[in-house]
Amino acid sequence: MSLRTLGRKIKLDILHPEGDICEMLFANRRAQHACRLLLAEIEKKRGLTRAEFNKFAFDLRDGKVEAGFRYSRTRFYEQVRRTLLTLGLIGIQQRPFILSRTEFEPERRFGRGLIDKYVLIRQPIARRPPDGLNFVRLTWIICEKWNREFFEDG
């Protein structure tokens, strides 16, 4: 096996880490953990309004999200939020304003207003990865892993 082939295999192994998408996107462990907490919150609530996102950032700063873990609000916005928005993994979309009176009652729609929410976005990718080891392939790998973690049906 040539040195070039060996180098490519090593690079492909680096691109497929055993962990989740947060380990692929962030090098810092604290940023990875903050990203995991944010994605779990967005997934649990099926989107966060700007006010809820802001409250989450303040709660993360104060250590209320998880006991023993604090993360600066400024750093959270600069590193985690900016990275996820720039890559298009989360986005701000308009959703109907839905309010439920209790947890057991089905959701009812009050009013006809729309509200902006941070939501997870399914990445449109081809079934097969592009050829070569380049930026397009790296992007495909990230998007494929994102879709597998959050949008896999079944």
List the pLDDT tens digit at each of the 154 positions of the chain.
Answer: 555 665 566 566 656 657 788 988 898 999 999 999 999 999 999 999 999 999 999 999 999 999 999 999 999 999 999 999 999 999 999 877 766 555 444 545 555 578 889 999 999 999 998 887 778 888 888 899 999 999 886 4
CA-based torsion, 54, 57, 62, 68: positive or negative? positive
Cα distance between residue 50 and residue 92, in whole Å: 9
DSSP 80: I
HSE-up of 154 (CA within 13 Å, CB side)?
A: 4
Cα distance between residue 27 and residue 98, in whole Å: 37
Cα distance between residue 31 and residue 76, in whole Å: 8
Which amino acid is it at 67?
Answer: A
